[in-house]
């Protein structure tokens, strides 16, 4: 990195080269001058004056002789000039003819202390003394803080946070030990992890757990872990819903470890149609690590192997019936390599899956994939970080409109995964770009400066991209097509009690699972009330399980679908599950009677199974056959049961008044006739009567221009009363 002159070339000072007063001074990487000359320069924090000569800051590289005149110029370093990483070639000043072992951690500490705030340039050769022996190192790489290692820099200043990595050719006779620990310290000894710069949002707590379990022991030198008598963690499993950042975190972990380039393989890629080829593919993944450990022992680099979709190849042994036994052989081969007789200590296997339940249990014990971290759906703060990551470039380039509130978007996007949030940003950008395109004339020039992604674009994107683990709003709205009418005090009382259960689930730490059964005659509004409770709860996950979505499925398939809804609910912090028409789910018929015992037992288990720690679930069931459920013992599985009644005369009058379809003189008579009528039947009867004797008047009636003829209403009531009473 080129420096800048303080006052231009006129600021240069002519000096003369003389011999060093002491040989010890020649090993300090400094040039010395009189106090009078030194006062003409600005001193840095260590009392050094930085000067440049022939556009070089390194005076030890200057080939001059005694009494030669030189012109030096004061050098003022830029703001971002501290070195994050310095890679050097190490050698003896004079060959000793024997090998020597040097601890990289201790040597880097000594050099950092001696050369603090000195400027190092690529190609520079520095003499120094260490434990009575003179060495020389040549700078190979200089990485500035906040920059990528792949970028090329000429120079930088050593700071207390600079980490030095040593390299040496085999013929030097120098053996570097604990080199991996010194290199890893570049990452792990930072004050904090800037996960946002790595593109990881909302996973700081998970990353802290991973670091403590898997990497803390790798920061210390090998002799420390040997004294503790422990082995490094060899494997970890990242599991959770799709799109939550498992693969992203694994890739970044592989990069941060500063070991070998991580091997990334998708589970299905390992499979082969040839006999024994699949097992060979697994062995090949570990071949480099085996050779490295065989030749270098404890000083071997860390080899990271990342298995994406590991459930594709590591299913429970004996669970597949393909007759080949390939999956069992893969699991056996993998277990042998991780924790067999000749187990490797220089390997970190990272597996990722969203189906942890499919994995062989032997793979999950300590010594194998022992660190198991759930990468769950991000909370509000995590969603804000993810949105900031994906909109950062927009903001930097002034494409983000001032009205965009990422905080509000984070609050609106409950149960969105990281991938779905990225989809929201892409969708919002597509709306903004579409405004600049004329479909009538695609050759019309586009103006980049007019592109602005507004808050409305993001709100439209939220309707377009819906979370896989979100509330089934459309299905819930279909359950109450007529809204939630005022049906009197009895229905209102049940609604208030149910909402108290919602609050209990939100705040209570002792009731992670609350269950409620709504029972009553068919059509009394049980499903509509359950749907209203789900919508008004504002919970992130609300799903309804009904028999209509399972038509034609076998009992086992129905059980699998029911279990999946509960498993998905456990991935959200607050969830509501509605079991609609439980008797229909159980395939109950009164003749016989006949029902599915398999589904019955599944529901009994799920209604009593506590969700994982930190997850709260409210289960609402509806039934018109409470006596049948009592005989099965299912009613006892619910914490509380509420009876949803039919309408009394006063209740029916309130509903009719809200509909405003009868005249004042007729509303009392109509309400009296509707006594003990379920509300669903009331709406159907009103719809029939609104058609008029000749039909076609319903629009005028619902708009208030006309009223239902009471006599025609009684005729319709007479047609159906025998059916519903």
What CATH number is given to the structural domain containing 630? Answer: 3.40.50.300
CA trace torsion 190, 193, 194, 197 (10° rounding):
100
Instruction: Give the number of domains in the chain.
Output: 6
Q: Which of 335, 353, 374 is the last residue before a domain boundary?
A: 374
CATH of the domain at 447: 1.10.8.60
Whether the per-residue pLDDT at 577 is higher than 50: the answer is yes
Residues 153 and 223 in one domain: no
Residues 65 and 139 in one domain: no
Catalytic residue among 246, 580, 602, 654: 580
> Are 370 and 210 in contact, with CB atoms under 8 Å apart?
no
Catalytic residue among 527, 532, 622, 646: 527
Whether the per-residue pLDDT at 608 is higher than 70: the answer is yes
**Structural domain contains residue 185:** no
Cβ burial of 547 (10 Å; 0-12, 13-18, 19+) is: middle
Which range has highest mean pLDDT (402-411, 442-451, 651-660)?
A: 402-411
Weakest mean pLDDT among 20-29, 54-63, 129-138: 54-63
Which pLDDT band holds residue 298 (cuts at 50, 70, 90)? low
Neighbours of 259 (CB within 10 A): 20
* Average pLDDT estimate for 531-552: 87
Closest CA to 9 of 66, 60, 71: 71
Cβ burial of 591 (10 Å; 0-12, 13-18, 19+) is: exposed
Residues 324 and 356 in one domain: yes
Greater model confidence, 183 or 286 = 286
Q: Which residue has the tokens 């470039």?
A: 393
For the stretch 367-395, pLDDT in tens is: 788 888 888 888 888 888 889 888 888 88
Whether the per-residue pLDDT at 693 is higher than 70: the answer is no
Residues 207 and 292 in one domain: yes
Could you give the C-alpha distances from 446 to 400, 428, 434, 436, 442, in angstroms and in order?
Answer: 18, 18, 11, 7, 9
| Buried-state track 158-185, b at ≥16 Cβ within 10 A, e below 16 | beeebbbbbebeeebebebbbbbbbbbb
Catalytic residue among 278, 581, 651, 653: 581
Sign of the C-alpha dihedral, residues 178, 180, 186, 188? negative
Residues 297 and 330 in one domain: yes
Catalytic residue among 186, 615, 680, 707: 680
Could you give the C-alpha distances from 118 to 21, 39, 75, 79, 166, in angstroms and in order?
Answer: 21, 18, 12, 15, 18
Query: What range does the domain containing 405 cover?
Result: 380-462
Residues 370 and 405 in one domain: no
Residues 308 and 387 in one domain: no
Q: Which of 418, 438, 462 is the last residue before a domain boundary?
A: 462
Which pLDDT band holds residue 624 (cuts at 50, 70, 90)? very high
Give the distance, in angstroms, between the CA of residue 411 and the centroid of all CA atoms in the same chain. Answer: 17
CATH of the domain at 132: 3.10.330.10
**Structural domain contains residue 298:** yes
Q: Which of 134, 149, 177 is the last residue before a domain boundary?
A: 177
**Structural domain contains residue 560:** yes
Greater model confidence, 653 or 78 = 653
Tokens for 492?
């209102």
Tokens for 566?
């509960």
Q: Is 357 known to be catalytic? A: no
pLDDT score at 196: 63
Residues 65 and 153 in one domain: no
**Structural domain contains residue 188:** no
Closest CA to 417 of 241, 205, 206, 237: 241
**Structural domain contains residue 1:** no
> Are 168 and 176 in contact, with CB atoms under 8 Å apart?
yes
The structure's pTM equals 0.61
**Structural domain contains residue 301:** yes
Greater model confidence, 562 or 108 = 562
Residues 629 and 513 in one domain: yes
Catalytic residue among 526, 571, 653, 707: 526
**Structural domain contains residue 611:** yes
Whether the per-residue pLDDT at 184 is higher than 60: the answer is no
* Average pLDDT estimate for 141-157: 67
Residues 301 and 231 in one domain: yes
**Structural domain contains residue 35:** yes
Residues 268 and 407 in one domain: no
pLDDT score at 10: 46
Catalytic residue among 227, 393, 492, 608: 608
* 557-562: long-range pairs with CB below 8 Å, 24+: 558/585, 558/596, 558/599, 559/598, 559/599, 559/602, 562/599, 562/602, 562/603, 562/606
Separation between Cα atoms, residue 373 and residue 571, nearest integer Å: 13
Neighbours of 188 (CB within 10 A): 18
Whether the per-residue pLDDT at 560 is higher than 80: the answer is yes
Which range has highest mean pLDDT (376-385, 415-424, 598-607, 644-653)?
A: 598-607
Closest CA to 178 of 149, 211, 220, 136: 220
Pairing of strands 119-121, 616-623: unpaired
Residues 575 and 614 in one domain: yes
Q: Which residues contact 715 (CB under 8 A, 6 or more apart)?
A: none
Q: Is 580 known to be catalytic? A: yes
Could you give the C-alpha distances from 112 to 82, 108, 156, 594, in angstroms and in order?
Answer: 12, 6, 13, 81
Q: Is 23 known to be catalytic? A: no
Q: Is 89 known to be catalytic? A: no
pLDDT score at 416: 86
């Amino acid at each position: 990195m080129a420096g800048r002159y303080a006052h231009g070339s006129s600021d240069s000072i002519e000096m003369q080269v003389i011999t060093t007063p002491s040989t010890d001074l020649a090993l300090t990487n400094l040039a010395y001058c009189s106090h009078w000359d030194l006062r003409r320069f600005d001193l840095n924090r260590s009392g050094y004056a930085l000067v440049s000569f022939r556009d070089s800051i390194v005076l030890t590289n200057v080939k001059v002789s005694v009494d030669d005149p030189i012109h030096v110029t004061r050098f003022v370093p830029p703001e971002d000039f501290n070195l994050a990483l310095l890679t050097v070639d190490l050698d003896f000043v004079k060959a000793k003819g024997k090998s020597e072992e040097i601890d990289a951690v201790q040597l880097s500490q000594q050099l950092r202390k001696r050369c603090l705030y000195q400027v190092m340039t690529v190609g520079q050769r520095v003499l120094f003394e260490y434990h009575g022996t003179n060495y020389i190192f040549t700078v190979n790489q200089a990485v500035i803080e906040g920059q990528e290692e792949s970028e090329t820099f000429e120079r930088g200043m050593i700071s207390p946070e600079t980490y030095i990595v040593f390299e040496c050719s085999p013929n030097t006779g120098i053996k570097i030990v604990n080199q991996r620990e010194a290199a890893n310290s570049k990452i792990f000894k930072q004050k904090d992890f800037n996960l946002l710069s790595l593109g990881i949002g909302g996973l700081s707590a998970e990353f802290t757990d991973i670091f403590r379990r898997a990497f803390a022991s790798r920061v210390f030198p090998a002799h420390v872990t040997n004294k503790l008598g422990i082995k490094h963690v060899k494997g970890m499993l990242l599991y959770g819903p799709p799109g939550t950042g498992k693969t992203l975190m694994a890739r970044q972990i592989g990069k941060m470890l500063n070991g070998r380039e991580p091997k990334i393989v998708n589970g299905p890629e390992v499979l082969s149609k040839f006999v024994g080829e699949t097992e060979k593919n697994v062995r090949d993944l570990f071949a480099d690590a085996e050779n490295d450990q065989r030749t270098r022992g404890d000083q071997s680099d860390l080899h990271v192997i990342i298995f994406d979709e590991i459930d594709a190849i590591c299913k429970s042994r004996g669970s597949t019936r393909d007759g080949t036994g390939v999956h069992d052989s893969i699991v056996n081969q993998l277990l042998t390599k991780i924790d067999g007789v000749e187990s490797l200590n220089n390997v970190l296997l990272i597996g990722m899956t969203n189906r942890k339940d499919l994995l062989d249990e032997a793979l999950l014990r300590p010594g194998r994939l022992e660190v198991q971290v759930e990468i769950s759906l991000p909370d509000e703060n995590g969603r804000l970080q993810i949105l900031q990551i994906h909109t950062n470039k927009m903001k930097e380039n002034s494409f983000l409109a001032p009205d965009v509130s990422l905080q509000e978007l984070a609050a609106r996007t409950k149960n969105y995964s990281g991938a779905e949030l990225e989809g929201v940003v892409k969708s919002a950008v597509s709306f903004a770009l579409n405004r600049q395109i004329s479909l009538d004339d695609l050759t019309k020039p586009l103006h980049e400066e007019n592109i602005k992604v507004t808050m409305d674009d993001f709100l439209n994107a939220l309707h377009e991209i819906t979370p896989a683990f979100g509330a089934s709003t459309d299905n819930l709205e279909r359950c109450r097509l007529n809204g939630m009418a005022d049906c009197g005090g009895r229905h209102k009382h049940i609604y208030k009690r149910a909402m108290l259960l919602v609050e209990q689930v939100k705040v209570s730490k002792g009731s992670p699972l609350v269950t409620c059964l709504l029972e009553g005659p068919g059509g009394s509004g049980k499903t509509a009330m359950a749907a209203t409770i789900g919508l008004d709860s504002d919970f992130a996950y609300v799903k309804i399980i009904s028999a209509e979505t399972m038509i034609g499925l076998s009992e086992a398939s129905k059980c699998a679908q029911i279990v999946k809804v509960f498993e998905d609910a456990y991935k959200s912090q607050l969830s509501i599950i509605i079991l609609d028409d439980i008797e229909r789910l159980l395939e109950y018929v009164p003749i016989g009677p006949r029902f599915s015992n398999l589904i019955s037992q599944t529901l009994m288990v799920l209604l009593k199974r506590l969700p994982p720690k930190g997850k709260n679930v409210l289960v609402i069931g509806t039934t018109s056959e409470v006596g049948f459920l009592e005989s099965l013992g299912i009613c006892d599985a619910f914490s509380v049961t509420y009876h949803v009644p039919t309408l009394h005369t006063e209740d029916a009058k309130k509903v009719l008044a809200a509909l405003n379809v009868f005249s004042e003189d007729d509303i009392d008579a109509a309400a009296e006739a509707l006594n003990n009528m379920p509300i669903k039947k009331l709406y159907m009867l009103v719809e029939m009567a609104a058609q008029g004797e000749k039909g076609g008047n319903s629009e005028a009636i619902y708009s208030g221009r006309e009223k239902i003829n009471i006599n025609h209403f009684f005729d319709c009531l007479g047609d159906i009363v025998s059916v519903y009473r």
